[in-house]
Structures are given as structure tokens and as C-alpha cells.
Amino acid sequence: MTGHHRKRDEFEAFYRQWYANGVRYGRSRRYRLQEWEAEAATQEAMSHMWKQWEDICEYDQDRLKAHFLRILQCRCVDVIDGNVRQRRVAAHVARDRIDGDDPALSRGREAQVTDGEALPETAYEITELKELMARLPEQQRLSVQLEHDGYPAAERAMVKGISENLERQHLARGRAKAKRMRDEGTGQ
């Protein structure tokens, strides 16, 4: 049992020494993970190290460090890949919601009133608004729709995979173009 306790103590010392460094590594300019993502990636890497500790505990400190950083690098890349996948799914869902299966966006169709309470004038206004939105460029249309749904600029930018400043520009241009098209009444 003393050998087991010694190895556990060695791992705890390694953990104390490298956990904070691992979090900093995940937050570095190379990966730019959020704090909680870097902590999760570091914890997963440490868990992986613990599972292998029986086999690797005899490594020298430089080799242990290199092994840990290699595992951590893989975990950081996994987190980044997951974030990219989530942004793509969110953007796809938002685009589908804007111009996907909505029959009111199809040319020549009136909006379908299903709640029984909407007045014909309201349905006509909704149809006009959806047609106007459909004529906006895709990036501007997505910005206006996400802003209407209550997403702040930072989240809209993340969904679209662009900078926050560019997102604000898309929103401002989309609003201005929609207003101009509405005022002209011609749509272009």
C-alpha cells in the first residue's frame, strides 16, 4: 500500500503544479478558451493522466509535462471543434427559422392564420414584413432576426462566426435597408 500512496502523492504534487498552468494554456492566445472551458479541458487531461499514472509515474518531469500538454492540447481542440459545431447548428437553425419552411415567405402565398385571433390586416402586415425580410441580404436578415429574438450583439456575432463590430454593422445596415425598402414601397 505504501507504493500506492507514494504514487498518489506524486500525482497530487503533479496536479497542484500543473493544473493552473493547464488552465492558462487553454486560455492562451493559441486556444482562447473561456475560463470554464479551459478548466474543463484541464480537468479532463488530468483525469486521463491519473488513469495512466501507474505506467507513466516513472517518467522524468519534462516528459510528464510534455505528455500532459499533448493530452491537454487534444482536449482544447475538442472544445474548439464543439464550439464550431454549436455555432454552425445555431446558424443553421436561425437561417431555417428565417427563410426555411415558413409558407408565408413563399411567393404568392398569404400568411396562414392558425390562432383564429389575428385580423386580416395583421396577417397582411406580417406577410409584407416577411417578404421585406426575405429581400434583405442573408447576413443582414440573420442579424435583424436574431436581434428581434433578443440575442445580444456578442451572441449574434458568435452564432454567425464574425466579430462583434461587424455584427453591429450588419444589424445597422439591415435596419436601414429594411426601413428604406418599406418607405419606398417598391422593395428595392
Q: Which three cell numbers stand for residue 7?
A: 504514487
- CATH match of 87-184 with 3.30.300: no
Q: Tell me, yes or no, if the pTM score tops 0.75.
A: no
Which residues neighbour 69 within 8 Å (Cβ) at sequence distance 6 or greater?
Answer: 22, 25
pLDDT in tens, 159-178: 888 888 999 999 999 989 98
Domain boundaries, the chain: 2-85, 87-184
Q: What pLDDT shows up at residue 134?
A: 85
Q: Which three cell numbers stand for residue 26?
A: 487553454
pLDDT in tens, 8-42: 999 999 999 999 999 999 998 888 888 999 999 99
Lowest mean pLDDT among 1-5, 31-35, 68-72, 73-77: 1-5
What does the DSSP 8-state code read for residue 110? P
What is the distance between the alpha carbons of residues 149 and 73, in angstroms, rounded to a whole number?
Answer: 36
Distances in Å between the Cα of 96 and the Cα atoms of 93, 101, 156, 187, 188 are: 5, 7, 16, 22, 24
pLDDT tier for residue 49 given thresholds of 50, 70 and 90: very high
What is the distance between the alpha carbons of residues 57 and 7, in angstroms, rounded to a whole number?
Answer: 7
